[in-house]
Amino acid sequence: MSRQPRFRAFLGRLGLFVLAAMALAPAASAAQQIETVALPSDSPLVSFRILFKTGAASDPAGKEGVAALTAAMLAQGGSRERSYEQILSALFPMAAAVRSQVDKEMTVFSGTTHIDNLEKYYALIRSMLLDPGWRPDDFRRLRTDTINRLRVELRSNNEEELGKEALYLRIYGPTHPYGHENLGTVSSLEKLSIDDLKAFYRQHYTRANLVIGLAGGYPKDFLEKLRADFSRLPEGAPSTPSDLPQPEPASKLRVLLIEKNTRATAISLGFPLRVNRSSKDWPALFLVQTYFGAHRSSNGVLFHELREVRGLNYGDYAYIEYFPRGMFQFEPDPNLARRQQIFQIWIRPVEPQNGMFALRAALYELDKLVKEGLSKEKFEATRSYLSKFVNLLTQTPSQQLGYAIDSQYYGLPDFNGYVKNALARLTLEEVNAAIRRNLRSSDLDIVIITKDAQGMKKAILSGEPSAISYVSPKPPEVLAEDKIIGSYKLDVSSVDIVPAESLFEN
Coarse DSSP helix, strand, coil percentages of the chain, rounded to the nearest 5 percent: 50, 15, 35
Statement to judge: residues 290 and 434 lie in one domain? yes
* Count of domains observed in the chain: 2
Note whether residue 8 is domain-resident.
Answer: no
Statement to judge: residues 223 and 264 lie in one domain? no
Note whether residue 325 is domain-resident.
Answer: yes
Query: Would you state the pLDDT for residue 30?
Result: 74
Note whether residue 466 is domain-resident.
Answer: yes
Q: What is the pLDDT of residues 262-302, one digit of tens each?
A: 999 999 999 999 999 999 999 999 999 999 999 988 889 99
Instruction: Classify the phi-psi angles of 109: left when phi > 0, otherwise alpha if psi is within -120 to 50, otherwise beta.
Output: beta
Q: What is the pLDDT of residues 374-396, one digit of tens each?
A: 999 999 999 999 999 999 999 99
Which domain CATH number covers 310?
Answer: 3.30.830.10
Statement to judge: residues 329 and 370 lie in one domain? yes
Statement to judge: residues 203 and 279 lie in one domain? no
Note whether residue 360 is domain-resident.
Answer: yes
- Contact partners, residue 167, CB within 8 Å, separation at least 6: 268, 269, 270, 342, 344, 445, 447
Domain of 337?
Answer: 253-502
Q: Out of 230, 245, 267, pick the residue that ends a domain.
A: 230
Percent of the chain with pLDDT over 70: 94
Statement to judge: residues 276 and 205 lie in one domain? no
Statement to judge: residues 368 and 472 lie in one domain? yes
> Mean pLDDT in the chain?
93
Report the distance separating Cα 397 and Cα 287, nearest Å: 25
| Beta strand segments in 283-361, E | 316-319, 341-350
Statement to judge: residues 134 and 257 lie in one domain? no
Statement to judge: residues 162 and 296 lie in one domain? no
Residues 289/320, Cβ–Cβ less than 8 Å: yes
> What is the b/e burial string over 202-225, where b = at least 16 CB atoms within 10 angstroms of the residue's CB?
ebbbbbbbbbbbbbbbbeeebbee
Residue 87 has pLDDT above 70, yes or no: yes
Note whether residue 19 is domain-resident.
Answer: no
Residue 162 has pLDDT above 80, yes or no: yes
Helices and strands in the chain: count of H runs, count of E runs:
18, 11
Statement to judge: residues 260 and 293 lie in one domain? yes
Query: Would you state the pLDDT for residue 21?
Result: 34
Q: Out of 174, 195, 230, pick the residue that ends a domain.
A: 230
Find the largest Cα–Cα distance for the chain: 113
Q: What is the pLDDT of residues 190-231, one digit of tens each?
A: 999 999 999 999 999 999 999 999 999 999 999 999 999 999
Q: Work out the angle at residue 365's Cα, subtended by the Cα atoms of residues 362 and 370, and round it to the nearest 5 degrees.
A: 125
Burial of 371 (0-12, 13-18, 19+ CB in 10 A): exposed
Note whether residue 472 is domain-resident.
Answer: yes
Statement to judge: residues 200 and 257 lie in one domain? no
Measured between alpha carbons, how far is residue 482 from residues 115, 258, 298, 357 in Å?
59, 27, 21, 9
* DSSP symbol at 304: I
Statement to judge: residues 297 and 364 lie in one domain? yes
3-state class (DSSP) for residue 274: coil
At 50, is the pLDDT very low, low, confident or very high (cuts 50, 70, 90)?
very high
Q: What is the pLDDT of residues 175-195, one digit of tens each?
A: 999 999 999 999 999 999 999
